[in-house]
Chains A and B, each alone.
Chain A
Amino acid sequence: MNNRGQIFTLDLLISLFIFLLLFTSVVLFLYSVADVNNPYSSYYSQVTSTYLNNVANQNADILSESIGSPANWPQYACGQISSIGLLQNTYELSPLKMYNLTTMSTKCLSQLLRAGGSFNVTTYYLNGSTVKIGNRPITAGFSIPQNQSYIASVSRYVVMYPGSTIIKITFTEWL
């Protein structure tokens, strides 16, 4: 019989190695899943999707539910405009303001909408065709890329002056 105490054994070394390996893997995995700065983590996915959706909804509401500030903002330079809105009165879209949306510089529009460099706003009739005013398609921003990982697109329906046509305003934001 061997009466010596056995502390530092091969069993211990191997067990310790396996334990540390598994423990490290667990920690790394948990951090990767929960790390909002990790583009492969589900938290990043949630935060990004929610952020884009909020921006799209906010800007769709601003354009379709306000007259802007000042109310006659098409007559002002970009630096003098606080916010843009497409309404002419409490419920009708202004064709003039819709037209001016397309002539305003993308940089100014991005600044006023706080939409960054990846947004698009387009208006459609109910039959799906793009609204044209003065033969100009009413669309602004950037071209929507294909196969984007994160993209949010929301729509609002509003009556266009003089009150006999419903227009669909679609705001798209992507990353």
Chain B
Amino acid sequence: MNRAQIFTLDLVMGSVIILSILSTTYTISTYYSTINSSLNIKSNIINSASSAASAFALVGTTDNALVQLHSTGNTAIFLDYVKSTLGAMLTRPYSISIQTKSDYGTSSAPNITIFNYTSPGFSDLSYSSFYEPVIVSDLSTLCYSNCDPSLSIKDVFAGQNATLNAPYCTVFYNNGTEVPWTVLNDTTGSECTIKVSSAAYPQNYLVNAFSSPGTFEGNTTLYVLALDLIHIKAGT
């Protein structure tokens, strides 16, 4: 009678195959779980960076800093502002540049770089780009002889808009001609939105405010110093 054969070559090979299948299955599932987590993290970083870029362009302190940059040309002061504001919001290395227009009166994009900064560790291989057009405007009330100091121009930089705290408003050049811009009146709220054209010239614009059509409340001035473009590259 032959001896029982337990430990055979077949058994060894079969065991190896089955163990290989188990290992491969585990590795694949773990790999996809890692990819899924990585995608969630990157998506969160990009969403946060997008809101940071938008907030940086919208906040009044950025406008003040840009006015100073245009007026004095001092990039060191603007750099300090960028590091303390944008740097506090972006968790990864980033790059920022400010372009201004060279040919006002046309709709061409700003193309003269007046400021550029790249934070340490920034890589050109992995980043998200954000473009924010801004109106550089001195927010201090600049009135003509009959302006109403209670009216205030608030610059909303997204899409180069400016808002006034009145439901209705109209905008004029210095010579009294109404500008061909789009003005969005707010019948339910209290702010009209002035969409400054990308072809606008850097000058004063007289803004008349109305509480309702035909009911004049006063006027103030929108002072356009420059139309700039902020380009932020946020590392991912």
Contacts and interface: CB of A to CB of B under 8 A. Distances in A.
Interface of A: 2, 9-11, 14-15, 18-19, 22, 25-26, 29-30, 33-34, 42-43, 45-46, 49-50, 53, 57, 60, 64, 89-91, 126-127, 152, 154-159, 162-166, 168
Contacts of B47: 57, 60, 154, 156
Contact of A163 (B4, B40, B59, B158): B59
21 contacts: A9-B4, A11-B5, A26-B22, A33-B29, A42-B32, A42-B33, A49-B40, A64-B51, A90-B158, A91-B156, A91-B158, A126-B88, A154-B44, A155-B51, A157-B89, A159-B55, A159-B58, A163-B59, A163-B60, A166-B59, A166-B89
B123 interface: no
**Chain B interface category by residue count:** 35 or more
B88 A127 contact: yes
A30 B163 CA distance: 61
A17 B191 CA distance: 81
A159 B157 CA distance: 12
B44 A45 contact: no
Nearest to B52: A157
A168 B89 contact: yes
Interface of B: 1, 4-6, 10-11, 14-15, 18, 21-22, 25-26, 29-30, 32-33, 36-37, 40, 43-44, 47-48, 51-52, 54-56, 58-61, 84-85, 88-89, 154, 156, 158, 163, 189, 191, 193
Contacts of A33: 25-26, 29
Contact of B32 (A9, A14, A29, A46): A46
Contacts of A157: 48, 51-52, 54-56, 89
A50 B85 CA distance: 31
A166 B55 contact: yes
Given A50-B40, A157-B52, A157-B89, 8 more contacts: A10-B4, A33-B25, A46-B37, A53-B43, A91-B54, A157-B56, A159-B60, A164-B60
B84 to A, nearest CB: 8
A75 B25 CA distance: 56
A164 B48 contact: no
A78 to B, nearest CB: 24
Given A126-B88, A159-B58, A26 B37 contact: no
Contact of B33 (A9, A46, A64, A163): A46
Nearest to A52: B40
